[in-house]
Amino acid sequence: MIRRLYDWVISWADRPGGIWALFVLSFCESSFFPIPPDVLLIALAVGAPKKSFKFALVCSVGSVLGGMFGYLIGWQFMDIVGDKIIALYGLTDKVEYIASLFNKWDAWAVSIAGFTPIPYKLFTISAGAFDVNFPVFVISSAASRTLRFFLVAALIHYFGGSIRTFIERYFNLLATAFTVLLIAGFASIKFFF
């Protein structure tokens, strides 16, 4: 089923409405859809490398708005919808752990989830359920999602279609390495200053 969804998402790269599909996919993935928008972003950007940053902007805006929708689900509809979405992905046992991350790291938890392969929808819904400060949530989401999508766009813009295979193969590893370096940097600042 996931493979069919993936193929369906990729098929939008060859259609006239591809940019709108990217927006809708980015919105939906941030709150309930399983396929990350990166796959369509990469396909569109490889097809038109000079528009890579435009595609990244559309992807970022859709994702942040979708994250806000996920927040709304957790804030007002957790019992009705939020719990079902989280259970669908088998992440129910992670909700309490997410609560502890919010208590300890607040905005950083959202930022890390927004940039890495961690299921962002789990954090958007949980942020609403645990009443994370909404402006902080939006700023953290905007920063991390924009960084993630513009990084992909920049690689394709500067290296062309040949970078697609590299990104698809190593994106999760690259995102995780970046996050580890970011956390290590903040930990060293806290430790030394």
What integer pLDDT is reported at residue 187 of this predicted model? 57
CA distances (Å), 187 to each of 28, 32, 184, in order? 34, 32, 5
pLDDT of the chain, 193 residues: tens digit per residue: 556 766 677 677 777 888 999 999 999 999 988 778 888 888 888 878 888 999 999 999 999 999 999 999 999 999 999 889 888 877 788 888 888 888 888 778 888 888 877 778 888 998 999 899 999 999 999 999 999 999 989 988 888 767 767 766 776 676 667 667 656 654 554 555 3
What integer pLDDT is reported at residue 193 of this predicted model? 39
Give me the DSSP letters along 5-72.
HHHHHHHGGGSTTHHHHHHHHHHHHTTT-SS-THHHHHHHHHH-GGGHHHHHHHHHHHHHHHHHHHHH
What integer pLDDT is reported at residue 189 of this predicted model? 45
What integer pLDDT is reported at residue 184 of this predicted model? 64
d(CA 27, CA 64): 7
Tokens for 69, please give them: 């929708």
What integer pLDDT is reported at residue 67 of this predicted model? 96
pTM above 0.85, yes or no: no
Residue 151, classified by CB atoms within 10 Å of its CB into exposed (0-12), middle (13-18) or buried (19+), is middle
d(CA 72, CA 10): 29
What integer pLDDT is reported at residue 179 of this predicted model? 62
User: 44-79: buried (b, 16+ CB within 10 Å) or exposed (e) per residue?
Assistant: bbbeebebbbebbebbbbbbbbbbbbbbbbbbebbe
